[in-house]
Structure formats: C-alpha cells, structure tokens
Structure 1
Amino acid sequence: MKANWNNRYDSKEYQYGLEPNDFFKKQIQLLAAGRMLVPAAGEGRDAVFAAQLGWETHAFDSSDSAQGKANKLAGERSVNLHYECIDAASVRYPLESFDVIALVYFHQMPMERYKFHQQCIKWLKPGGKIILEGFHKKQLGLASGGPKILDMLFDKEELSQDFEGLRIESMEEKECILNEGPLHQGKAFVIDLVATKPLA
C-alpha cells in the first residue's frame, strides 16, 4: 500500500492541488486556532492551510513522497508542520490532545475505519470537533476520485455508528463538482460531517 501511494505522489505535480478542501476551509475558518490533527495528510494542502491560520498542525501519512512534498509546501508558505510518515494503525497521540481532527478523503476498509474513527474520538479534547469530508457510496462508478470498493465509501448510517457518543452538528450527503488537482475532477457524491465531543 505504501508503495502505491509513493508512486501516486512521486511527481512534481500536486495530485490533489495546492489549495485546501473547500469544506475543510470553510469549517476551520469558523474556529479559533488551536491544536489540529490531519490524518492521511498527503501532500499537505489542508495541513499547510491550517498552519497558515495559526493552528499547531500535526499530520501523518504512510507515504514519504507525500511527506516530502508537504514539507516543501510548508516551507514555501513559511509555516511549520509536525508531520510523521507512519500508517494509521501504528500512529499514537496523547488522549484528549486535539481541538480538531480533520478527515478529508481518508477511506479505509470497514473494520480499520471504525477502529480509527473510535481512536480519533479518544484523541479529541472535550469540546473538540471532527471535520470530515469523504466520498459517499453513490460515488462508486464515477471518475472523479475515491476508492473503487463500495465498502470503503461512506453513508450516514455508518458514520453515525463510527462517531457514536459525539454530538452531530451537521451531516449532509450532496452532489458537487470537484476541482482539486488532477485526481479529483468532475461530478462527485460526497458526505460532509461536523461532530463535537461533549464536555462531560
């Protein structure tokens, strides 16, 4: 898997563009800067944008090619990232240590996804937020990006189960037009989620 992602990112061109995901951008601009985690951060477009807004930004990805490009982008934009090259099953952070965890197009097989989403809840501070955008199951068959395996795509019921215990602020399934680098182009079906960890 690591080799596949390294092959994808092993070019000068940024495969998902240089600008942040629109939903992510909109949501974090509503919040006071704090400590953020960006899992599967890829080439760094979202993590770097958050750092530009003053967030202490932690990120990881299994691809060292992606890490190199993310650090290059951070340097060009004069910000610092705490970026690890590690996979989601191995990464560790202190409990209740992040104000926001941003999950932007991070798709896994169901069991791994559930375990990781549950771990994210543990890493969130009370009052902290999950901000998620990913491909809906209706995305299958479209050429605008995402896994080609139905079980790796999202729907409301599965995400509600994954983040049980959080307060769902919003969850929307929608059709949109993606324009995020060469690999996210065209008509897409996505799901957007904002959920908050209760204070007590």
Structure 2
Amino acid sequence: MKAIWNARYDSKEYQYGTEPNQFFKKELLKLPPGRILIPAAGEGRDAVFAAQLGWEVYAFDSSDTAQSKAIKLASEKSVNLHYDCIDAHQVRFPLESFDAIALVFFHLPPEERQAFHQRCVKWLKPGGQLILEGFHKKQLGFSSGGPKDLNMLFDQDELKLDFQGLNILSLKEKKKILDEGPLHQGNAIVVNLLATNPL
C-alpha cells in the first residue's frame, strides 16, 4: 500500500488540495486548541489548518511522499507538526493522550478498522472529541473518490459498534459535492460522526 500511496502523491500538485476538509474545519473551530491526532494525514491539509489554530498536532501516514509534502506545506504556513511515516496498525500512544482525534476519509479493511477505531477511543482524554467524515457504502456508485471495496466503506451501524464507549453527538449520512483537489471532485455520499469520550 505504501508504494501505491507514494505513487498517488508523487506530484507537485496537492492531490486533495491544501484547504482543510469542510466538516473538519467547521467542527474544529468550535473547540479550544489542545492536542490533536490526525491519522492518515496525507499531504497535510487538515494537520496544517489545526496547527494554524494553535493545536499541537500529531499526524501520521504510511506515505513518506505525503509526509514530505505535509512538512513543506507546514513550513510555508510557518507552523510545526509532529508527523510520522508509519502504518496505522503500528501506531501506539499512551491512554488519554488527545483532546481531539480527526479521521477524515481514512478507510481500512474491516478487521483493521475496528481495532484502530477502538484504539482511538482509548487515546481520547475524558471529554475529548472525535471528528469523522468518510465515504458511505452508497458511495460505491460514484466517481468522486473513495475505496472501490464495499467492505472498506462506512455505514452508521458499523461506526456505532466501532466507537462503543463514546457518547455519539451526531451520526448522519449526507450528500455533498466534493471539491478537494483532483482526487475528490463531484457528488458524494458521506457519513459524518461527532462523538465525545465521557468525563
């Protein structure tokens, strides 16, 4: 997978743009800055935005090409990131490390997804917030982005199970028009999830 993502990101152009995901931006602006984890951070659009707001940003991705572009973008915006090149199943943090975790279009095979999502629950501080936007299973018929494997797409019931232990504030299927760089363009069906770790 690393080779596939390196090839995808091997361009001067930012494949998903340099502006943050709109759902992530809207929700992050409601929170006081703290420490945030951004898995599958790609070329850094969301991580850099969070850092500009004063968050201490921890990010990772399996692609070192993406990492290089993210560090370059951070430098251009005069912010710093803690950005590691590592696979999701290898990532470890202490319990209750983060005030927020943002999962933006991060799709894994079901067995990996469930395990990783449960680790995210454990990494959230009491009162910490999870922000997730991903492609719904209905996205399979659209060409605007996302995995072509139905099992890697989301539905609400799966996400409820994955994030057991959190208080779900909002969980919605939504139609939207994506305009996020060359690889996310056009009509899409997504799932938006907001949840908090109980105090």
Match for residue 127 of structure 1? Answer: 127
Structure 1 residues 31-70: aligned runs within 5 Å: 31-70=31-70
Q: Secondary structure at the match of 1:107?
A: coil
Match of 1:11 in 2: 11
Letter of the 1:122 counterpart: K
How many residue pairs get aligned? The number is 199
Amino acid at match of 1:55: W
Aligned-residue Cα RMSD (Å) equals 0.4
Pairwise CA distance, 1:165:
1.2
1-structure distance, mates of 2:129, 2:116: 15
List structure 1 segments (4+ residues) > 2 angstroms apart after TM superposition.
none
2:70 is paired with a residue of what secondary structure? helix
Please give the per-residue CA displacement for 1:6-62, whole angstroms capped at 9, x wherever unaligned.
Answer: 000011000000000000000000000000000000000000000000000000000
Between the aligned partners of 2:152 and 2:131, the Cα distance in structure 1 is 18
- Using the alignment, how far apart are the partners of 1:10 and 1:122 within structure 2? 34
**CA–CA distance in structure 2, aligned partners of residues 12 and 79 of structure 1:** 20
Give, as a single letter, the amino acid of the residue that structure 2 aligns with 1:182: P
SS in 1 for 2:15: coil
Q: Secondary structure at the match of 2:89?
A: coil
Percent sequence identity is: 72
What is the Cα deviation at residue 98 of structure 1?
A: 0.2
TM-score normalised by L of structure 2 = 0.99
- How many Å apart are 1:94 and its aligned residue? 1.2
Structure-2 residue corresponding to 1:155: 155
Cα deviation code 1:148-170 (max 9, x no counterpart) = 00000000000000001110000
Unpaired segments ≥5 residues, structure 1: none
Separation in 2, partners of 1:135, 1:106:
9
What is the match of residue 104 of structure 2?
Answer: 104
